[in-house]
A and B are shown apart, each in its own frame.
Chain A
Amino acid sequence: MKKLAWVLALCLITVMALGSVALAAPVEVDYWSVFTGADGATMQGMVDAFNASQDEVKVNHTPMTADDLYQKIPLAVQSGSGIPDVTIVHIERIPAFVSQDLIWPIDTLLENGILRENYIPSAWERTDIDGEHYGVPLDVHSYVTYYNKTLFEKYDLNAYVEDGYLTFDEVKELADKAKAAGYTDKVMGLDWFRAQMLSYYAQLGEGKLTEDGETPSFNNDEMARVYETLKDLHDNGYTTVKGDDPMQLFYAGNLLIWPEGIWMKAGALDAGVDIGMLPSLCYTPETCKNWTSSHNFVQFADDDRTEEEDIAVAKFINYMGENSLVWARDGGQVPAHVSINDVPEFKDMMQAFLADPERGDELAIYYYKYWGLFDTAFSRNGFEPVFGTMSAEDALKAAEQEVIDAIAAQ
């Protein structure tokens, strides 16, 4: 009898133990991001670190290109199945998602530990729409200017970058000086058309793509002047030409100045180039602006998502913010979580100037409900007007008309 009691007790303990294991099963969170390549590896590392740091939540990360994500996610929401619990999107896409009822306000996340004061205001406030809040910024990432320190040293050009800015006039001057000293390679890259144009466009006015929030109005004198500025540099031999690959030229040490995104820092360093980083090229230091975007955590509409999953998502987002130093170090980004700004290691990074609150006005974050349409139409002809194969007037007119026609046909 006593033996039987022991066996029963043992069985009971086993069942309870198994039960407790079952109860402790982590909450699974499906997470989609727009990070591929080196960024994707860094993000996967951060997700793995989060999963290893605790037992309650398990995040399943699905990385894909931004184009793929923006095509797949509306279809997933439409079908009502396979919708991720949390997704990274670019901040400029959020107004369109809100207007299409595709994303939800993050009320539950705000009730579960996500705090407004933990994030850079310029990024956070952009997703306050009609009294609701929709996004939690992971970072801000800007279009900047890299320069080859070795070449600058060799041709004695450091005086031009001492003030931390490089103007278009200074580009011409330093190029002439370098050429006079025997430099024969390319001076400045024309790369990533949309961000380069919009960095300079924001310096000439308010940087508006629309006046009334709906109808595009970027076919204007300011945008035409940006084309003129670049065409002047191109026609006078200061830029790369059609068919050149600025990235490869810079990596090979055959380009002095390379305007590109801050996330290209790691690639340039890996290529062995001794790089310096400046804000976007500018008309004057006082009006300098950098095209800037921000990766935001958002939640797409999903009726099957439970509050338990929302709490798990909040925990994940908080972890990512508090541990985003690695995102700055390996991804080259500027974390939006303000706690990182005070970390000495971050302060020593070359992109830290973008997190300086006193220089917040230099971040030009574009915000247009029809950003996707604008992006496609505006980028269609790229640098062709700069190369002289078509006029800026025609390119802008066609792009603006394309957005108008697309809005009408939607």
Chain B
Amino acid sequence: MTSTDVRRAPRAGIAARDKLAAAAGLSFIALFFMSGIAAVATVSDVEVSTSQSLGAVLFSLSSFSALLLPISLTAMVMAVTMVLGKRRAPGMLFAGISAAMFALFMLLYAGEGLNNSLYTILGDQLKELGVKFRKRDFSAITVTYSPAAYLTCAAGALTAALAAPPLKTERDRRATRKALVPYAYVGPHLLFFIVFFITPSIYGVYAAFTRWNLFNDPVWVGLENFRTLLFQKGNTYYAQLRNGLWNTVKFVLYSVPFCILVPLALAIALQQRPRGHKFFQAVYYFPALMSITTVSLTWRYMFVKSYGAVSNFFMLPGDWLVPPHSWIALVIMTVWWYIGGTMVIYQSALASIPVEHYEAAAVDGANGWRKFLHITLPGIRYPLSYTLVITVIGQFNIYGQPLMLTGFGNQEANAVLLMYVYENAIKKQVAGMSAAMALILGVCVMAVSFVQARLMRANTPA
């Protein structure tokens, strides 16, 4: 046996175990959706009971402990991916987290008793039976899990055990430590990312396919919300999507060029180091430190026709809170707020262009414009592309400025899509339709970002 064969033998063994671990992980996911819970409550000597699949609990959106389920599922998907990628240590870590989260869910959900999804079902039964009750009468609610739920938990633990890397030698232990250390660094962020981004995103996408008033359990309606939004002429939400999306696109088209060009012009001006350039740099950056509420209210006082400075001091004609002037007002206040962050990026990029290039161009007789066109612009090509992408994404998410400057006034002339999304979800409790609107906006932003990212990649220096 050669030394190469010696090394290959354990590798083959690990691969088989990886497959087993991945199979256990996948069985966790399968068992998860086969699991169920049963709940029994006795109120005024009347016993009522119900049962639910864990899938239904996962999407019930009505219990704090139920939030542990998407974390558990996401962690197991990551564990399986890691194991299949032959990264057993992190695979073990994520499988362990997944099993722990699942076990914690089983513990907390049973103790919670009064979670809303169970209460709603049991309460409806009691109402049908004519029993008068209050929510606190449900303190005797009992939750039990199906055998599949316990098997799910066991499958999670098994995945972690099978994925565990060998720890016999010091070398093994060192290798495991080395593999896990990066996750100690990214772990906290990853946790928050899963809790505050992945989980709400999953629920948001699910909610888009439901009818939901935030209080009761969402009712699955398939593509009905999208059918309404995209094809049902005469429906309020059909009109709102069109108006909101069109106003958002208009705002992006109006504001993005200025959000790029004005900071660029100021960065170039400051690059010449005029007298007091530090002071002006601070002044230009200052609005970026303010909240959008402060910015919007300040500018609103400036633009109000009856007492605002724009109409009464500068004597500019027109009502600046009414279209078309309101669009100009929105762009002005957005650019003013936006200058600081982008300008700093340009300043940094400009500083990295070797001064010799300008000197050589001057020797060749190039004027300022030619220097800008042939030295400055190519020199900041990458940061320019980057700011273009983030500015477009940022402006697609426009919300605070039109909300506070014009609201839904002027026949909704400045109402952008996110204003409708928020109003429908929170104020009107039409959360399913609102989530569908948000999903459509998200798809649009992703499409635009994708195109821009391709362009950016083409412009990125090798």
Instruction: Establish whether residues B305 and A78, one from each chain, have CB atoms under 8 Å apart when the complex forms.
Output: no
B354 at the interface (CB under 8 A from A): no
Give A30 to B104 CA distance when docked, in angstroms. Answer: 32
Pick out which of these stretches binds chain B: A133-141, A268-276, A316-324, A382-390: A382-390
Binary CB contact string for chain A from 85 to 105 against chain B (1 if under 8 A, 0 otherwise): 000000000000000111010
- Shortest beta-carbon distance from A384 to chain B in Å: 6
Instruction: Establish whether residues B427 and A384, one from each chain, have CB atoms under 8 Å apart when the complex forms.
Output: no
Instruction: Establish whether residues A303 and B322, one from each chain, have CB atoms under 8 Å apart when the complex forms.
Output: no
A410 at the interface (CB under 8 A from B): yes
Partner of A389 from B306, B307, B411 at Cβ < 8 Å? B411
A376 at the interface (CB under 8 A from B): yes
Partner of A303 from B114, B236, B409, B429 at Cβ < 8 Å? B114
B215 at the interface (CB under 8 A from A): yes
Give A380 to B237 CA distance when docked, in angstroms. Answer: 14
Chain A residues 97 to 138 lying within 8 A of chain B, measured CB to CB, are 100-102, 104
Q: Which residues of B have CB within 8 Å of A71?
A: 426-427
Q: Which residues of A have CB within 8 Å of B236?
A: 398, 401-402, 405-406
- Shortest beta-carbon distance from B225 to chain A in Å: 8
Chain A interface residue count, Cβ-Cβ cutoff 8 angstroms? 35
Binary CB contact string for chain A from 4 to 31 against chain B (1 if under 8 A, 0 otherwise): 0000000000000000000000000000
Give A389 to B307 CA distance when docked, in angstroms. Answer: 23
Instruction: Establish whether residues B319 and A410, one from each chain, have CB atoms under 8 Å apart when the complex forms.
Output: no
A153 at the interface (CB under 8 A from B): no
Q: Which residues of B have CB within 8 Å of A381?
A: 411
Instruction: Establish whether residues B306 and A406, one from each chain, have CB atoms under 8 Å apart when the complex forms.
Output: no
Give A380 to B415 CA distance when docked, in angstroms. Answer: 11
Chain B residues 74 to 113 lying within 8 A of chain A, measured CB to CB, are none
Q: Which residues of B have CB within 8 Å of A303?
A: 114, 135-136, 139
B340 at the interface (CB under 8 A from A): no
B433 at the interface (CB under 8 A from A): yes
Instruction: Establish whether residues A79 and B322, one from each chain, have CB atoms under 8 Å apart when the complex forms.
Output: no
A373 at the interface (CB under 8 A from B): yes
- Known contacts A104-B134, A401-B236, A406-B236; A382 and B409 CB within 8 A of each other: yes
Residue among B116, B236, B423, B426 with most chain A CB within 10 A: B236
B300 at the interface (CB under 8 A from A): no
Give A133 to B165 CA distance when docked, in angstroms. Answer: 65
Q: Which residues of B have CB within 8 Å of A402?
A: 236
Instruction: Establish whether residues B427 and A67, one from each chain, have CB atoms under 8 Å apart when the complex forms.
Output: yes
Instruction: Establish whether residues A380 and B427, one from each chain, have CB atoms under 8 Å apart when the complex forms.
Output: no
Residue of A at shortest CB range from B434? A409
Q: Which residues of B have CB within 8 Å of A75?
A: 214
- Shortest beta-carbon distance from A360 to chain B in Å: 33
Instruction: Establish whether residues A102 and B306, one from each chain, have CB atoms under 8 Å apart when the complex forms.
Output: no
- Known contacts A390-B411, A401-B236; A74 and B214 CB within 8 A of each other: yes
Q: Which residues of B have CB within 8 Å of A78?
A: 62, 116, 214-215
B408 at the interface (CB under 8 A from A): yes
B38 at the interface (CB under 8 A from A): no
Chain B residues 404 to 455 lying within 8 A of chain A, measured CB to CB, are 408-412, 423-424, 426-430, 432-433
Binary CB contact string for chain B from 235 to 275 against chain A (1 if under 8 A, 0 otherwise): 11100000000000000000000000000000000000000
Instruction: Establish whether residues B215 and A74, one from each chain, have CB atoms under 8 Å apart when the complex forms.
Output: yes
Chain A residues 63 to 91 lying within 8 A of chain B, measured CB to CB, are 67, 70-71, 74-75, 78-80
B183 at the interface (CB under 8 A from A): no
Give A405 to B237 CA distance when docked, in angstroms. Answer: 8
Residue of A at shortest CB range from B240? A402
Give A301 to B134 CA distance when docked, in angstroms. Answer: 9
- Shortest beta-carbon distance from B131 to chain A in Å: 14
Q: Which residues of B have CB within 8 Å of A409?
A: 211, 225, 228, 237, 430, 432-433
Instruction: Establish whether residues B411 and A384, one from each chain, have CB atoms under 8 Å apart when the complex forms.
Output: yes
- Shortest beta-carbon distance from B424 to chain A in Å: 8
Q: Which residues of B have CB within 8 Å of A243?
A: 305-306, 319, 321-322
Instruction: Establish whether residues B411 and A244, one from each chain, have CB atoms under 8 Å apart when the complex forms.
Output: no
Binary CB contact string for chain A from 358 to 381 against chain B (1 if under 8 A, 0 otherwise): 000000000000001100100011
Partner of B307 from A245, A372, A380 at Cβ < 8 Å? A245
B281 at the interface (CB under 8 A from A): no
- Known contacts A245-B307, A381-B411, A405-B236; A80 and B114 CB within 8 A of each other: yes
B213 at the interface (CB under 8 A from A): yes
B193 at the interface (CB under 8 A from A): no
A284 at the interface (CB under 8 A from B): no
- Shortest beta-carbon distance from A69 to chain B in Å: 12
- Shortest beta-carbon distance from A389 to chain B in Å: 7
Give A75 to B234 CA distance when docked, in angstroms. Answer: 32
A184 at the interface (CB under 8 A from B): no
Instruction: Establish whether residues A376 and B305, one from each chain, have CB atoms under 8 Å apart when the complex forms.
Output: no
Residue among B136, B307, B429, B432 with most chain A CB within 10 A: B429
Give A102 to B135 CA distance when docked, in angstroms. Answer: 10
A248 at the interface (CB under 8 A from B): yes
Residue of B at shortest CB range from A240? B306
- Known contacts A303-B114, A380-B408, A389-B411; A372 and B427 CB within 8 A of each other: yes
- Shortest beta-carbon distance from A333 to chain B in Å: 26
Instruction: Establish whether residues B211 and A410, one from each chain, have CB atoms under 8 Å apart when the complex forms.
Output: yes
Give A382 to B411 CA distance when docked, in angstroms. Answer: 9
Q: Which residues of A have CB within 8 Å of B423?
A: 376
Residue of A at shortest CB range from B139? A303
- Known contacts A78-B215, A405-B235; A380 and B412 CB within 8 A of each other: yes
B372 at the interface (CB under 8 A from A): no
- Known contacts A74-B215, A243-B319, A402-B236; A376 and B306 CB within 8 A of each other: no
Residue among A373, A398, A405 with most chain B CB within 10 A: A405
Instruction: Establish whether residues B136 and A373, one from each chain, have CB atoms under 8 Å apart when the complex forms.
Output: no
- Shortest beta-carbon distance from A165 to chain B in Å: 30
Residue of A at shortest CB range from B428? A406
Q: Which residues of A have CB within 8 Å of B135?
A: 101, 301, 303
Partner of B215 from A100, A242, A382 at Cβ < 8 Å? A100
Give A401 to B236 CA distance when docked, in angstroms. Answer: 7
Binary CB contact string for chain B from 137 to 178 against chain A (1 if under 8 A, 0 otherwise): 001000000000000000000000000000000000000000
Residue of B at shortest CB range from A410? B213
Instruction: Establish whether residues B307 and A410, one from each chain, have CB atoms under 8 Å apart when the complex forms.
Output: no
B64 at the interface (CB under 8 A from A): yes
Binary CB contact string for chain A from 257 to 271 against chain B (1 if under 8 A, 0 otherwise): 000000000000000
Partner of A245 from B213, B306, B427, B432 at Cβ < 8 Å? B306
Instruction: Establish whether residues B428 and A373, one from each chain, have CB atoms under 8 Å apart when the complex forms.
Output: yes
Chain A residues 211 to 225 lying within 8 A of chain B, measured CB to CB, are none
- Between-chain CB contacts (< 8 Å), 15 pairs: A78-B214, A78-B215, A80-B114, A243-B321, A245-B304, A248-B307, A301-B135, A376-B427, A376-B428, A380-B408, A384-B411, A389-B410, A402-B236, A409-B225, A409-B433
Which residues in B have some Cβ–Cβ distance to A below 8 Å?
62, 64, 114, 116, 123, 134-136, 139, 211-215, 225, 228, 234-237, 304-307, 319, 321-322, 408-412, 423-424, 426-430, 432-433
By Cβ-Cβ distance, the 8 closest A-B pairs, closest first, are A303-B136, A410-B213, A405-B236, A243-B305, A402-B236, A409-B430, A409-B433, A100-B215
Q: A102-B215, A409-B225, A410-B212 are in contact. List 5 more A-B contacts (CB 8 A).
A: A245-B306, A301-B134, A303-B114, A406-B236, A409-B211
